[in-house]
């Protein structure tokens, strides 16, 4: 097991996934350790109950293991695991909140121009994360998830598009709108405390 631990540090996620696919299931432990914190942090933004988070987390990793042979090792493992996490969280939210999420979103129909993100440029990375954390509670589900993926999980537009299975330009426009909402929410919060 120690030999595995030594070697696994040098390998990227995709290489580890390939090893698991070939039957080296002992490497799955490494993937769980790499992603447990990230996925747990991601799930915490949607679920508040610790037991719920624990259950969903376990379901996510069970899905990862059972479906690992569907993963294309030429693509990014992080997008794939976040996609599974997204689906599990959507299902969990449906069950817990008894809420039906919209099936069709008009955003995915039309092409959009992706604008450059000046939010990151004008603010320090830590400040951005702080602002995001402050505003998340007031954002709608539609923008909340994409803002988490972009600003907190630091994923690219393309990765987010793959996770949410939406056009890249839609990911861009939603981030832009979410950012505008955050700026307005942040302004109000600041105004309140001044």
Partner 1 sequence: MNNPEENKQSLSEIMISKIKTGEIKMKPKFYFVLKLLLLLLGVIVLTFLALFLVSFIIFSLRVNGILASPKAGFWGFKILFSSLPWVLILGVILLIATSELFAKHFPFIYRRPVLYSTLGIILIVILGGFIIDRTNLHQNLFSMAKRGELRIVGPMYKDFGLPKLQNVHYGIVEEITEDGFTIETPRDEEIAIIISSNTKLPDNEIEQGEALLILGKRTNHTVKAYEVRPANKDFDFFPDRARPMPQINENLPSVNQPPDNSPAPPNGYQLQIDFE
Among 14, 87, 167, 185, binds partner 1 (CB under 8 A): 167
Integer-rounded Cα Rg, in Å, for the chain is 18
**What distance in Å separates the CA atoms of residue 20 and residue 10, rounded to the nearest whole number?**
16
CB of 10 to partner 1, least distance (A): 19
Q: Which is nearer to partner 1, 132 or 160 (CB)?
A: 160
The residue range among 81-89, 129-137, 161-169, 177-185 that interacts with partner 1, by the rule CB under 8 A, is 161-169
Please give the backbone phi and psi of residue 87, each rounded to the nearest 5 degrees, phi first. -60, -45
Are the CB atoms for 82 and 34 separated by under 8 Å? no
Does 189 bind partner 1 (CB under 8 A)? Our answer is: no
Are the CB atoms for 160 and 146 separated by under 8 Å? yes
Contact positions with partner 1 (CB under 8 A) in 88-127: 108-111
CB of 92 to partner 1, least distance (A): 17
Neighbour tally for 103: CB within 10 Å: 5
User: Any alpha helices (H) in the chain, and if so which ranges?
Assistant: 2-8, 13-21, 28-44, 50-66, 77-97, 118-122, 125-135, 141-147, 157-164, 168-193
Which pairs with CB-CB distance under 8 Å and at least 24 residues apart come from 156-160?
A: 157/114, 159/76, 159/78, 159/79, 159/82
Does 28 bind partner 1 (CB under 8 A)? Our answer is: yes
The residue range among 59-67, 80-88, 91-99, 174-182 that interacts with partner 1, by the rule CB under 8 A, is 59-67
The residue range among 33-41, 81-89, 123-131, 181-189 that interacts with partner 1, by the rule CB under 8 A, is 33-41
Among 168, 181, 185, 189, binds partner 1 (CB under 8 A): 168
Among 33, 94, 97, 130, binds partner 1 (CB under 8 A): 33
What does the binding site for partner 1 look like in residue numbers (CB under 8 A)?
Answer: 21, 25-26, 28-29, 32-33, 36-37, 50, 54, 57-58, 61-62, 65-70, 108-111, 158, 161-162, 165-170
């Amino acid at each position: 097991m120690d030999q595995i631990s030594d070697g696994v540090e040098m390998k990227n996620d995709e290489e580890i996934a390939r090893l698991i696919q070939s039957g080296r299931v002992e490497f799955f432990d490494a993937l769980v350790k790499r992603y447990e914190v990230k996925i747990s942090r991601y799930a915490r933004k949607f679920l508040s109950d610790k037991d719920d988070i624990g259950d969903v987390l376990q379901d996510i990793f069970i899905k990862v293991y059972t479906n690992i042979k569907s993963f294309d090792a030429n693509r990014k493992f992080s997008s794939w695991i976040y996609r599974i996490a997204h689906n599990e969280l959507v299902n969990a939210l449906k069950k817990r909140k008894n809420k039906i999420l919209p099936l069709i979103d008009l955003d995915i129909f039309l092409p959009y121009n992706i604008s450059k993100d000046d939010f990151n440029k004008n603010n320090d990375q830590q400040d951005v994360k702080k602002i995001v954390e402050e505003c998340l509670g007031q954002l709608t589900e539609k923008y909340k998830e994409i803002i988490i993926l972009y600003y907190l999980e630091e994923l690219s537009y393309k990765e987010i598009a793959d996770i949410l299975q939406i056009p890249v330009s839609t990911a861009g426009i939603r981030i832009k709108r979410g950012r505008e909402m955050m700026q307005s929410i942040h302004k109000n919060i600041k105004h309140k405390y001044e």
